[in-house]
Amino acid sequence: MNALHDPLDALQGQPHLVIERDGVRYTLLGTAHVSRASVDAVEAAIGTGKYDTIAIELDAPRLQSLTDPDALARLDLVQVIRTGRTAMFAANLALSAYQRRLAEQLGIEPGAELKRAAQLAQERGLEMRLIDRDVGLTFKRASVRLGLWGRAKLVAGMLGSLLADDAVGSDEIEKLKQGDLLEASFGEFASESPALYDSVIAERDRYMAARLRALAHDGSSPRNVLAVIGAGHLQGMARHLEHDQDAPGEVCEQLESLPHKSDVPWFTIVLAAFVVGGFFWGFWRGGLDVGSDLLLQWVLATGVLGAIGCALAGGHPLSILVAFLASPITPLHPALASGTLSALVEAWVRKPTYADFMALRDDVQTVRGWWRNRVARVLLNFFLTSLGTAIGVWTGGLRMLGRLVG
């Protein structure tokens, strides 16, 4: 296994490395996701006819979003909410909004060189492989490792990306040219959070290198592979591609699973025990009057604040009612989360139209657009109802504790 410099004229002046392993010659082309020169380099390299396989730093959903603008309009929003992928949808939306800001400012679509590589591979009948990990899975792995406060900061960063309409700073653009689009979309939080950086950059270096190594054993028998990747992944991928010895399939399986966490939801159990125990204690020690008063205060604190959150999101009266009814029992079981249930009702009562999906990227750039667009309003419903319920749980819990120890 040797790292070489490719003499191919088409790559002169572009960051690249060549790794030979297991009878396959891998040319790693480091690109800037916002550079016309990177598009030209991809066209020139594939145009030589030297490569039989084109590997691209994309997953299937990101390729679809680049090549099929109408894909978003075919999304089943109710299914997204029902399967617990609301946060994943918001993350993809934040990434799309960030990319759009870059495109409008720089006059080139972020990831244009990746899209062009896919187009040329198909036009020339070359083997094409998408080697990046699903962006939703990357977000999930990062989210699990961040903890409660880290997740809150991450969500705040995503909302900031959705609402921001100012120009992307020159320092950020220069960093993007040498880095990674996912990392840049999360802003400074990625560099400040080792867990996020590891999930977004380091893990993907290892994952994509493993996907490349797997090509030598999947029956396609490649000999010359061109891997089009962001410049920020060049050195890390080259190192893993050259030195890793673990079976590629095992590496991918490990990095596609969620980090281990306790199967026992201790926080939910403790909170539920406190709430239920508080009611029983109130009825036992104080009789019907005290117990009923505790129950009423809990219902009002959680239900009212959850309903207020839904109302602030412009929720339908039925969605507000569901938020009120679900909020008091949300702490008892995750499946009964008020944000999820009210958002489901909102999406069912006010079903988003094709026009809502097509206008989504524009509407989320303005505050008024969030309430006008039915898709965005469902997301607001989910987040604000959940926030209202969370505040209500703490408020109601403190009131209950005060009565019990008073």
Largest CA distance in the chain: 87
Strand order, beta sheet including 53-56: 2-4, 16-21, 24-31, 224-230, 53-56, 127-130
Tell me: do 224 and 302 sit in the same domain.
Answer: no
Q: From CA 158, how far away is CA 187, in angstroms rounded?
A: 9
Tell me: do 127 and 37 sit in the same domain.
Answer: yes
Could you say which of 256, 285, 317 is where a domain stops? 256
Q: From CA 266, how far away is CA 269, in angstroms rounded?
A: 5
pLDDT tens, per residue, the chain with 406 residues: 444 444 456 676 778 899 999 889 999 998 877 778 888 889 999 998 899 999 999 988 888 877 776 666 677 777 777 777 776 677 666 666 666 666 666 667 778 889 999 999 999 999 999 999 987 788 778 777 776 666 666 666 666 555 555 555 555 555 555 555 555 555 545 555 666 667 777 889 999 999 999 998 877 788 999 999 988 888 889 999 999 999 999 999 999 887 665 554 555 666 667 677 776 776 776 677 766 777 788 888 889 999 999 999 999 999 999 999 999 888 777 667 888 899 999 999 998 887 887 787 778 777 788 899 898 899 889 989 998 998 988 888 787 777 666 6
Tell me: do 54 and 153 sit in the same domain.
Answer: yes
Tell me: do 120 and 149 sit in the same domain.
Answer: yes
Domain of residue 134: give its range: 2-256
Tell me: do 229 and 293 sit in the same domain.
Answer: no
Tell me: do 252 and 362 sit in the same domain.
Answer: no
Q: Is residue 261 part of a domain?
A: no
Q: From CA 316, how far away is CA 319, in angstroms rounded?
A: 5
Tell me: do 390 and 249 sit in the same domain.
Answer: no
Tell me: do 48 and 26 sit in the same domain.
Answer: yes
Tell me: do 308 and 176 sit in the same domain.
Answer: no
Tell me: do 71 and 183 sit in the same domain.
Answer: yes
